[in-house]
Structure 1
C-alpha cells in the first residue's frame, strides 16, 4: 500500500469519527498526511490549522477539543513527536479526547541511524494509548472514542511521500458514537450534618444544583462550571481559615479541586466525612481520604418537598460571612495606590459578558481570579477554562486561541502571568492564511515568578537566593515581542487604563499588558488572608 493511500485512509477515519479540526505542523515525513488533510479541508470536511511549533500545535488542538470540537494534531517524526507530549499529558489527566497523529519511518529503518528515526511506539507514555498504523486495515475508527483521554496513532510512511494527483475526496459519513451506560453505585445523600459542596475543575452545573437543593454552601473554583447562583461563596478560600470552617462536618467533592491549600487541608481532616464524585482523567483515585463515592449525579434525600434545607442557618452564616469578607477585600483593594494582580483579575472577571469565554493560566492568575469572580447568573453561558489536569504553564496562549476558535462566544478573553505568556509566545506565530479569533490576552506582568513568594521558599530566610532560584526576573519587553509577531498591544499601569483597554477591544488577537509589582506579593497575600479574621 502506498503512503498516500494510508494517509487518505487515516483522514477518512478521522472524519468518520467526527473530527472537524486538524492542526498540522510542517514536515517531510508527514507530507502524505498533510496533502490528504488539505484536500479534505478543501472539500469542506474539516478546518485546517498550520503551526510551525509542535508544542503550540498540540495545545491549539487541546483548546479546540476542550470547547467541544473534535480535533487532531499531526506532525512529522523524531523530536517533533516529543514536543506533543505536554499537550498529550494534559489531555490524559483532564480526560480530553485529543487525537495525536504522528508520521514515522518504516519499520525497516528502526534500530538504524536513519535520519529523524527513533522508537516512536509508546513515546507519549503509558497514559496515552497508542496504535501503529502500517496499512488502512490497522485504522480503528471505533477505538477513537472508546475511552476519555488522548489517543496516539503512529503512522509508518514510506517513500514516495507525495501524491501523484489531488485527492477527489468522496462523501464521508460520520459514525454515531456508541453511548455506554454509566454504572450506578451511590446516588442519594441525606441532608444530614453541616455540609459544603466543593466544586473543582470540570464539576459542571450538577454541583450547583446539588448545593441549591440541599441549602449547602458552594465552594466552587473558577473553572468548575459551577460558580453561579446564590449559594456560590466568593471568598471561601479565606473563610476556610476562619472559625466557620471548624463547624464543617461533611464535604461533597465534585470535579477536580486543585487550587487551594485550605481546601486540601479541609479534605484531609479526620473529623470531616468526604463524599466524592467521579473525576475525568487518567487516575480516578483521589489524593485525599474518601468515605463514600458516587458515580452518577447525586440526589438529596429527606427533603420535605419545599426545597428548604433542614438547617437554613448554616447557609445563612456562610453568606453573611462571605458578604462581610468580600466587602473588606474590595475596600482593601480600592485603597491600594498601585495596580494589584487581584484588581486585574477582578477587571477581567467583570469584562466577561454573558455568552463569553475566559481561559485562565495556572499559578497566581487563576487563584487571584478565584477571589474576584462575582456570582455569575445561572444560564448566562459564561465559560471559564483552565488546563488543570496537570496545572502547568505550557501552551496557554495556544489553548486560548484554540478555545476561541472552537466556541461561538460573545467575547473571548484570556488571563495569564508573564512567565506563562513567555512560555508559549510561539502561540502568537500565525501565518497570514490561518483562522484568527477575536481574543484579548491579558498578561499580568510582575517580571518573574511571584507565586513562589507566597510559598515556603518565599520566606525571609531564603531571601539571599530567592531571586535567582524562584523569582527569575526576565526583563523581556512584552511590547517588543508582540511587535515581532505583529500582535496588537496595549499597556495598562492602572485600573482605569486596564478597564478602558478591556472595554475597547481592537479585534483579532491582542495583548493587554497589566504591569504590577512583585516585591510585596507575600505581604499582600498575608494582609488579604487576615481579612477573614474575627
Structure 2
C-alpha cells in the first residue's frame, strides 16, 4: 500500500486519466464514499476539462450518461457512491451493452479491510453487472488508478470486441475530503484548477494543458473523437465510393430488398439507390430517406413479400413482425452486413450470411430486376394515400397523426420512445423529410430512462431535441425532469401521447383476448395498466412548461416555435379504437395494392 497516495490524490489521478481518454461529461449522483472523486471532478470542471451534471436518482443519472455518450460520440461517465446506488445503474448498463454505447461506471467502494465486515452501505459490488460490461476492474485503495482507467477505457472503445459499458470500482479510505490533505501537494499528472480558461480545448480535442487521448499513460486507446468521428467519416466516405463505383456493379439481377434496422446509417440508403433496390428502413436507422425508401413497407410485405428472393440487412431491425417473418423464411437468401463486431447478437445465433465487405455484398445483392423497385414505389404511394384517407376520417387524434406531425416538424434531433411511438413513426414517417438525427433506445427496447436519455443527447449535442413518447414511458422516467438550480438545462421538447395506459398491447394478440368477456378486465388491468395521473401538475411540479393539445391544428401550432428550454406537449388520445383503426388501415391498403 502506498501510504503517500491518499484517496483525494488517487481520485485526481483517476480523473486525469479519464479526461486523457476522452471523457468530457460525467453525471454525478450524491454520496459520501464517492467524495474524493467528486472533489477531483469539481477541480477538473473548474479547469475546463469536464462538464458535470448532478442527478439525485442514480437510474436517471445512468440514462443521462447514456444519452451524453450517444450525443457526444465519446465515452461518458456516471459516478455513484457504494451500495444500492450501484445497482440502480443496471438498466442503463444493460441498454449500453446491447446498444454498444461506451458508458463508464465509476462506483465508489469501501477498502478491502471493510468488505464483508458488516460496514454500513457495503456489499459485493465487484462484477455486479456480469456479462453486461466489457470489463469490471476493482481498483484497490491507495493505488494509482491510471492504468486501470486506461484499460477500462480501451475496452469501452472496442479494444477486444464491440464498444460498450465498463465498470471501475474504486475503493477509498478515509479521509475522503481534501480539507485534511496538504493543499500545497500536487500529485504529478493530476489536473490543476486554473491551469487554463474554462472550456478551452486544444487542437486534438483534449482540454488545453492536459494530455491528449494518446498520451503515454493511455497509448492503447484511440481517441474517441477519431474512433467515432474521423474513422467513421472515413469509412462512410470509402463505402459510399465503393457503393457508387460502376466497376463494382454486379452483373446479376434479383428481387432483393434492403432492410435498414436501428443504427444502419446512410450507407443503407446509398446502397439501395445504387442497385435500384427497395429500401425498408426503420426510423432510427437514419437511412429512411430518398426515392428508394418505402414508407409503408410493413403494410406491403403481405402483398409483395412473397416475391422477395434476397434480403440485405444493415443495422438491427427490431420493430416489425412482418420483417421478422420475412427473415424467418428459409427460401429467402439473406446477408447481414457486418464490417465490425456488434453487441446485439452472439456469433452463430443468426441465420443470415455474414458479409464484411461491400464488394462481396454488392455481388450477393445483385441489381434490382426491371420494374422491381417501381412495383414497391407505386404500391407505397397507393398505400400512403389509403392510410392518410383512413386517418382523415378519424374523429380524434391518434398516435399516427402525432407521429406524422412530429416527424415533419423536426429539423433538429428526434428521439422516439419505445412501444407504439416508434412504430407509429415507422408506419407513417415520410422519406421525403428526415430529422437531423433520429435516436431510440433499441438495445433492449425498454421504456425506462427515455426522458433522461433524451436529456443527455440534447446536452451533449447542443442541438434542440424533440422526444415523442407515450404516457407510461413518460411516467416511468418522470424523475428525469428533476433539475437542480444552476444545472445545465437542455433544449428539449417532450411530446406525450396520453391515452391513459399502454396502447401497444391492444395491437398484439392481447387485443383479441380483450374482446373476450372473460379476459376483458384482466387484459385492461394487467396489460393496459390504466392511470389517472395529472401530467400538467407533474410537469409544473418539476418546473417544466406544459401545454395541452386536443386538435391537429393545435398540435401543428405547438410544434411550430423553436425549441428553447424544456417543455411538455400533452396530446390526449383514446386507445379503445386503436385496434379497429389499424384493421381499417390494413384493409384500405389491401384494396389498392
TM-score (norm 1): 0.93
Distance 1:125 1:282, change over 3 A: farther
- 2:466 counterpart SS class: strand
Q: CA deviation at 1:301?
A: 4.8
- 1:370 counterpart SS class: helix
Residue 254 (structure 2) aligns with: 193
- CA displacement 1:194-244 (0-9 Å, x = unmatched): 1000000001111111111110000000000111111111000111122x1
Residue 397 (structure 1) aligns with: 451
Residue 103 (structure 2) aligns with: 98
Distance 2:358 2:168 in 1: 34
Residue 247 (structure 1) aligns with: 307
- CA displacement 1:261-309 (0-9 Å, x = unmatched): 000000001221110122632534476421x211244566579xxxx94
Q: Does 1:331 align with 2:389?
A: yes
Distance 1:298 1:23, change over 3 A: farther
Does structure 2 retain, via aligned residues, the 8 Å contact 1:210–1:300? no
Distance 1:506 1:210, change over 3 A: closer
Distance 1:481 1:338 in 2: 25
- 2:405 counterpart SS class: helix
- CA displacement 1:38-79 (0-9 Å, x = unmatched): 110111011110000000111111111112243111111100
Q: CA deviation at 1:406?
A: 1.2
In structure 1, runs of 5+ residues without a counterpart are: none
- CA displacement 1:82-112 (0-9 Å, x = unmatched): 0101011100001111111110111111112
Equivalent residue pairs, number: 521
- 2:467 counterpart SS class: strand
Residue 416 (structure 2) aligns with: 360
What is the root-mean-square deviation in Å for CA atoms of aligned residues? 2.3
Q: Does 1:58 align with 2:62?
A: yes
- CA displacement 1:419-447 (0-9 Å, x = unmatched): 00111000000012111121110001001
Residue 280 (structure 1) aligns with: 342
Q: Does 1:491 align with 2:548?
A: yes
Q: CA deviation at 1:374?
A: 1.2
Q: Does 1:513 align with 2:570?
A: yes
Does structure 2 retain, via aligned residues, the 8 Å contact 1:214–1:300? no
Q: CA deviation at 1:415?
A: 0.3
Q: Which residues of 2 match residues 131-530 of structure 1 at below 5 A?
A: 131-134=137-140, 135-137=143-145, 138-146=147-155, 147=158, 148-164=163-179, 168-169=192-193, 171-176=209-214, 177-178=221-222, 190=250, 191-242=252-303, 244-278=304-338, 280-281=342-343, 283-285=345-347, 288-290=350-352, 292-297=353-358, 301=362, 309=367, 311-353=369-411, 356-376=412-432, 382-409=436-463, 411-459=464-512, 460-461=515-516, 462-505=519-562, 507-530=564-587
Q: CA deviation at 1:529?
A: 2.1
- 2:130 counterpart SS class: coil
Distance 2:357 2:337 in 1: 8
Residue 14 (structure 1) aligns with: 18
Q: CA deviation at 1:12?
A: 0.6
Distance 2:173 2:399 in 1: 53
Distance 1:375 1:145, change over 3 A: same
Distance 2:497 2:151 in 1: 44
Does structure 2 retain, via aligned residues, the 8 Å contact 1:458–1:522? yes
Distance 1:524 1:400 in 2: 30
Distance 1:78 1:263 in 2: 43
Q: CA deviation at 1:143?
A: 3.8
- 1:434 counterpart SS class: coil
- Structure 1 residue ranges, 4+ long, deviating more than 6 angstroms after superposition: 179-183
Does structure 2 retain, via aligned residues, the 8 Å contact 1:206–1:297? no
- 2:330 counterpart SS class: coil
Distance 1:73 1:49 in 2: 9
Residue 72 (structure 1) aligns with: 77
Distance 2:168 2:249 in 1: 43
* Matching residue within 39, 42, 59 for 1:38: 42
Would you tell me which structure has more helix in proportion to its own residues? Answer: 2
Does structure 2 retain, via aligned residues, the 8 Å contact 1:127–1:282? no
Distance 1:84 1:301, change over 3 A: closer
Does structure 1 retain, via aligned residues, the 8 Å contact 2:106–2:169? yes
Does structure 2 retain, via aligned residues, the 8 Å contact 1:268–1:288? no
Distance 2:546 2:132 in 1: 39
Does structure 2 retain, via aligned residues, the 8 Å contact 1:397–1:421? yes
Does structure 1 retain, via aligned residues, the 8 Å contact 2:277–2:368? no
Distance 1:483 1:298 in 2: 56
Distance 2:60 2:138 in 1: 24
Q: CA deviation at 1:376?
A: 4.0
Residue 202 (structure 2) aligns with: none
Distance 2:368 2:547 in 1: 52
In structure 2, runs of 5+ residues without a counterpart are: 184-190, 196-208, 215-220, 236-242
Residue 127 (structure 1) aligns with: 132
Does structure 2 retain, via aligned residues, the 8 Å contact 1:413–1:439? yes
Does structure 2 retain, via aligned residues, the 8 Å contact 1:202–1:256? yes
Does structure 1 retain, via aligned residues, the 8 Å contact 2:59–2:449? yes
Distance 1:301 1:383 in 2: 27
Distance 1:223 1:513, change over 3 A: same
